[in-house]
Amino acid sequence: MSVFRPGIDPAAHRRLQRIREGVIEWLLRGCAFAAVAGLVLIILFVFREALPILVNAETQKEASLAGFFATPLWQPVGDVPKYGLVPLLLGTFKVVLVAMLFATPLAVLAAVFSSEFASPRLREALKPVIEILAGIPSVVMGFFALIVLASWLQSVTGGTMRLNALNAGIALGLGVIPTIFTVAEDALRAVPKSYREASLALGASRWQTAWNVSLPAASAGVGAGVLLGLARAVGETMIVLMASGNAAITSVTVFDSVRTLSASIAAELAEVVMGSPHYSVLFFLGALLFTITFIINVAAGIFVDRLRRRLAGA
């Protein structure tokens, strides 16, 4: 705020103002860099703690990259610790696959309905309700799956294990729906009105317009939504920790209990001895998770970029 004070000549006043704005600009820049620096430091920390697996001979005697695939067992506590990553990778893959198969059609079709078919009043009601799902703490979702969903699924499927990949996957899917829905819906709404009007004017029905015009036009944004949902599903911890049973079984069926990368870190990190091979392995899992979600997020960013260019250039 600038206050003109009599007695100060306008040139000096302007100089003062320039200094003040310079200071403010530097402050803001500092805030932005602090946030980025914090993030970079965390990433560096995770990778540094995982490093002994690659370089420390003492650690490699117990846990090495080759050792991760030499055994199908994950038994980190014992006289001979076994760090087989196969059951954890397979478990993560199974849960995420179930979650995405469950969430993607539901979320995308809900987005199509909300943006193409729903009346403005219905849309105003629908959107916040679905987005409230994102506000449910994942521990609540996990508890629901542990107590209610698991019993219901067992009575339907007749599986031996109550807590399994299917149960955790569906609960995880519920957690992912709002992410996919929000991004997909925004992308569909961003499709210019002229596209739809042109399609309808050519005699296409509303369904034909939605399916053949709006959805393809927004496909990059919908894809980005699905990828962001995928990234969330891979990293989500609490739901799978509670609902999956956490047994590190190497099998392909979704009716077996599974142990995921994220749940292993959450369950074991609290009590490992700092600097031990087990500690390094858990940080290695963390670095692996980070790399996976980072790649997915970058891919989603590319999709969004492409959408923006297509809609702007068309």
Partner 1 sequence: MRSLISSLVILAALAFATAAHAGRPITIKGSDTMVILGQRWAEKYMNEMSGQVVMVTGGGSGTGIAALINGTTDICQASRPMKPDEKLKLRDRYQTMGQEIAVARDGLAVYFNESNPMQKLSIEQLKAIYMGQVTNWKQVGGKDATIVLYGRENSSGTYVFFKDNVLGGRDFSPRVQTLPGTAAVVNAVSKDPNGIGYGGAAYAKGVKDCAIQKDAKSTAILPTAATVKDGSYPLWRHLYFYLRKKPEGDTKKFVDWVLSPAGQQLATQVGYFPL
Distance from C-alpha of 117 to C-alpha of 104, rounded to nearest angstrom = 19
Residues 73-92 contacting partner 1, CB under 8 A: 73-79, 82, 87
Burial 87-106 (b: 16+ CB within 10 A, else e): bbbbbbbbbbebbbebbbeb
Classify 78 as helix, strand or coil: coil
Q: Does 247 bind partner 1 (CB under 8 A)?
A: yes
Q: How far is the CB of 123 from partner 1 (least distance, A)?
A: 40
Q: Does 122 bind partner 1 (CB under 8 A)?
A: no
Radius of gyration over every alpha carbon of the chain, rounded to an integer in angstroms:
26
Around Cβ 216, how many Cβ atoms within 10 Å?
Answer: 12
Classify 2 as helix, strand or coil: coil
Distance from C-alpha of 87 to C-alpha of 51, rounded to nearest angstrom = 22
Nearer to partner 1, 23 or 147 (CB): 147
E strands present in the chain: 74-75, 82-83
Q: How far is the CB of 57 from partner 1 (least distance, A)?
A: 20
Q: Does 268 bind partner 1 (CB under 8 A)?
A: yes
Q: Which two tokens stand for residue 72?
A: 């199908």
Q: How far is the CB of 145 from partner 1 (least distance, A)?
A: 13
Residues 273-292 contacting partner 1, CB under 8 A: 273
Pick from 248, 287, 289, 296: which binds partner 1 (CB under 8 A)? Answer: 248
Q: How far is the CB of 290 from partner 1 (least distance, A)?
A: 22
Pick from 112, 242, 281, 307: which binds partner 1 (CB under 8 A)? Answer: 242
Q: Does 125 bind partner 1 (CB under 8 A)?
A: no
Residues 205-224 contacting partner 1, CB under 8 A: none
Q: Does 270 bind partner 1 (CB under 8 A)?
A: yes
Of 163, 109, 153, 103, which is closest to residue 133 (Cα–Cα)? 103
Distance from C-alpha of 206 to C-alpha of 49, rounded to nearest angstrom = 56
- Number of alpha helices (DSSP H) and beta strands (DSSP E) in the chain: 15, 2
Pick from 161, 171, 180, 183: which binds partner 1 (CB under 8 A)? Answer: 161
* Binding interface with partner 1 (CB under 8 A): 73-79, 82, 87, 146-147, 150-151, 160-163, 241-242, 245-250, 257, 259, 267-268, 270-273
